[in-house]
Amino acid sequence: MPNSKITGVGMYVPEQVVTNKDLSKLMDTTDEWIIERTGIKERRFFKEGEDTVSKMGANAAEQALLRAGKKPEDVDFIVFATLSSDYNFPGSGVLMQRKLPFRQIGALDVRAQCSGFIYALSVADQYIKSGTYKTVLVVGSEVQSNVFELSDRGRNMAVIFGDGAGAVVLEATDEKDKGILGTKLHSDGRFAEELYLEHPGSRRKQRYSPDMIEKGELLPYMNGKLVFMNAIKYFPEVIREVLTESNLKETDLDLLIPHQANARITAAVQKEMNLPDSKVVSNIHKYGNTTAASIPIALCEAWQEGRIKEGDLICMAGFGSGFMWASALIRW
Ligand code: UT7
């Protein structure tokens, strides 16, 4: 059975930097509140007509392919994680497929929100381990800045999220002790409505109407405190679960790359797992929460900064809407 290994990482963030001060001109918030509650200083907002989820994904993918020494023609399959697809259908995977000279390969969209990248990676891992494909592109990309209202009523979520994309090339390898050692996936649908965007969904005869805009029903809803409490419970649990499966402990970890949801969540997980700053990646101050893109962006930056060396034990973990949570353990 082949193993699967990340051979290239890439990222793309839109040019426009939006600071907390910029947001405070549009809504009743302050730089101090945002930094104290979330650790975020700035985020990126996409430019209409220039950036789309599929295009940002393609930009990140191009960089990952270049670093892996691969061409788009070499890719056997695309797994694309996003909650903010360019169109309602088809998914962004196929829109990315046409942006680079890929063959007519399969493109699968994954909807698992903040855990989307780990879910996507686990799918790619299984295709490679089963021998179905040799080279798979795994992408996480999001445009979120246009789903929130930059106003007082939208402030609780608008200040947290940002736009961006990350990608990895996953390849088959014969090295038995390298690559993805394991993945763990969980969900608990009882909490679906604690962090969700109801409309335009298919439940109602009329998917949307003018009064929905007025009532704010086209805005996402988040029970921030409940999400927070569950995140700090399930992050350590799912990280320990994937380590235990490989007979490893948190003291064996060289680097933890958590989904960038909130600097306070990351700090709580770090404390619970007794990890020093040098072993935990946090870049939320620059990009906010980019949902499915946050883990591959953090991975890419850690790699660019020289924080990842051959043989390192790396754990990536996500938690978010669904609730869905997941982890992946990698021997680099
Ligand atoms: O990726 C997974 C997705 N999401 C998460 O992981 C989010 C998890 N939750 C959180 O990060 C935190 O719950 C938040 C950052 C969203 C909120 O922090 P909090 O400490 O739970 O604050 P809160 O919601 O209890 O709000 C405290 C106060 C409220 O005012 P009152 O009722 O005390 O007068 C809010 O109305 O802060 C107010 N508030 C704001 N003030 C200034 C809410 N949003 C803002 C804002 N600026 N943007």
Alpha-carbon distance of 72 to 61, in angstroms, equals 9
Residue 219 has a pLDDT of 94
Q: Closest by alpha carbon to 77, among 112, 127, 8?
A: 127
Strand blocks (E) in 131-251: 135-142, 164-173, 179-187, 195-196, 221-222
> Per CATH, the architecture of 3-176 is what?
3-Layer(aba) Sandwich (3.40)
Tell me which residues are annotated as active site: 114, 259, 289
Q: Which DSSP category does 13 fall into?
A: -
As a whole-number percent, the residues of the chain with pLDDT over 90 amount to 95
Our answer on whether the CB atom of 114 is closer than 6 Å to any ligand 1 atom is yes
Sorted by sequence, the CB contacts under 8 Å of residue 199 that are 6+ apart come out as 207, 208, 212, 217, 218
For residues 177-194, give the mean pLDDT: 97
Does pLDDT of 176 surpass 90? no
Find all residues with CB under 8 Å of 168, minimum gap 6, and list them.
Answer: 6, 8, 9, 10, 64, 121, 137, 138, 296, 299
Q: Is the domain defined by 180-331 classed in CATH 3.40.47.10?
A: yes
Nearest to 54 by CA among 161, 145, 140: 140
- Give the model's confidence band at 26: pLDDT under 50 very low, under 70 low, under 90 confident, else very high: very high
pLDDT 10s digits, 304-322: 999 999 999 999 999 999 9
Would strands 255-258 and 313-320 be described as parallel, antiparallel, or unpaired?
A: parallel
Q: For ligand 1, atom 1, which residue shows the shortest CA distance?
A: 261
The pLDDT value given to residue 213: 87
State how far the Cα of 174 lies from the Cα of 193, in Å rounded to an integer. Answer: 43
Is the confidence at residue 216, as pLDDT, over 90? no
The pick from 30, 34, 37, 195 for probing ligand 1's pocket by mutation, whose C-beta has the most ligand atoms within 8 angstroms, reads: 37
Q: Please report the atom of ligand 1 found closest to the CA of residue 159.
A: 48
The structure's pTM equals 0.97
Question: Are residues 124 and 138 in contact, defined by beta-carbon separation less than 8 angstroms?
Answer: yes
Q: How far apart are CA 260 and CA 282, in angstroms?
A: 7
Are 269 and 236 in contact, with CB atoms under 8 Å apart? Answer: yes
pLDDT confidence of residue 141: 98
289 pocket-lining for ligand 1 (C-beta < 6 Å): yes
Residue 12 has pLDDT above 90, yes or no: yes
**Mean pLDDT for the chain overall:** 97
Extract the tokens encoding 154.
């939208």
Q: How far is CA 120 from CA 19, 140, 276, 326, 330, in A?
A: 31, 8, 29, 11, 15
CATH 3.40.47.10 domain span(s) along the chain: 3-176, 180-331
